[in-house]
Amino acid sequence: MMRVILALTVLILGSTGGEIAITHGMKATGEPARLRPLELLQFLGRAMRNGWFWAGVPLMALSFYSLLILLSWEPISLVIPASALSYVVGTLGAKYILGEQISTARWAGVLLVCAGVALVAAG
């Protein structure tokens, strides 16, 4: 039980931490001027030179490995609903780390999505 909780914590914190780092990197990169192939390539080049992007990638890899380990211990109908908690953790991270404004409507939407994903994945 302890090891499942530990792996789940690594899964959730790894994926949200990684995504928050990448979001921070992408915001620093700035949006592409136009959504054309050349501009998109230059944009990707800028993103790849951003340290936050490379901080995010290993965190997401760590999260992926703990997902694989969890799936070898527990059924998918338990693992995915439990990992739906990352919607809530991610929103908290967006608010306190990225400084995004989470309105009541957005919180309500996130909680509904979290419950919905848990129900869909549980089958």
Partner 1 sequence: MASERRLRIKTLVMVLAMVVCANAGDLMLKRGMSQIGAVRLTPSGLAQAFRLTVASGTIWIAIFFLTGFMLSYMTVLSWADYSYVMPAGAFGYALLTLLAVVFLHESVSPRRWFGVVLICVGVLLVGQTKPRTTAVAGEAVA
Minimal distance in Å, beta carbon 43 to partner 1?
A: 7
- For 12, the token pair is 């959730």
**41 residue type, one letter:** L
Q: How far apart are CA 123 and CA 121, in angstroms?
A: 5
Selected from 12, 29, 63, 83, the binder of partner 1 by CB under 8 A is: 29
The C-alpha atoms of residue 8 and residue 85 are separated, in whole angstroms, by 10
- What is the C-alpha to C-alpha distance for residues 47 and 85, in angstroms, rounded to an integer? 28
| Cβ at position 93, least distance to partner 1 in Å | 8
Fill in the per-residue mask, 31 to 70: x = in contact with partner 1 (CB under 8 A), - = not in contact: xx--x----x--xx--x-----------------------
Asked if residue 116 binds partner 1 (CB under 8 A), the reply is yes
Tell me the C-alpha distance between 41 and 55, whole Å: 21
Nearer of residues 6 and 68 to partner 1, judged by Cβ = 68
45 token code pair: 């080049």
Q: Name the site residues for partner 1 (rule: CB under 8 A).
A: 19-20, 22-23, 26-32, 35, 40, 43-44, 47, 87, 90-91, 93-95, 98-103, 105-106, 108-123
